Amino acid sequence: MERKEIYLAGGCFWGTEKYLKSIPGVKMTEVGYANGIIPNPSYEDVCHRNTGHAETVRVKYEPKYITLTHLLNLFLQVIDPTSVNRQGNDIGNQYRTGIYYVDPKDETIILAAITELQKKYDKRIAVEIKPLKNYYPAEEYHQDYLTKNPNSYCHIEKDAFDRHANPLSIRRPPLLYQQRLAPLHPQGKYGGRGVREIPANIR
């Protein structure tokens, strides 16, 4: 079955990953550092050494079950798309919002989604849209962090993580939810973080 990739930066990648993983049609998530200026950065590099990376979630999804447009709409619901280098209590360039694509054909879809979003805001949308230049997986303790540490800080409201269990709670329910996962085809941290400390036992 066909799978596609998109890379989404929405502030702290702990909560962004958990939220995206909960979406039906998303088959794999991984947190990492994208579009920076040095190879293989560490968390400390990204937080303290101005590497230019964004905390990013790598997403593999099945377009047969969820469109890129709808995936982006769900992502954009849980961030402040007008905020520059900040989401929640997390402040810094690494917490900027972005959509990084690997398929050039996706650019048109992304731009259309942002154009529609802009109609709802007076302030300028600050989500950057760029090809993925580089991506490095984050340290293992960051992967599925909120699943391992459910009481940790997160900038995303906790009820968002369970939202997809109830199709009626989705603001713009797609065909995906109406058909209960039937195929769409008819044949079918540091630095300004507030409270985000790495537990001593994983350092």
**Active site positions, annotated:** 12
Please say whether the beta carbons of 29 and 59 come within 8 A. yes
For residue 6, what are its two tokens?
């998109």
Please say whether the beta carbons of 34 and 59 come within 8 A. no
For residue 39, what are its two tokens?
């190879």
For residue 101, what are its two tokens?
């694509």
Q: What's the DSSP call for residue 199?
A: P
Helices (H) and strands (E) in the chain, counts: 6, 8
H-only helix segments in the chain: 13-21, 43-48, 68-77, 106-118, 145-148, 175-178
CA 194 – CA 111 distance, rounded (Å): 32
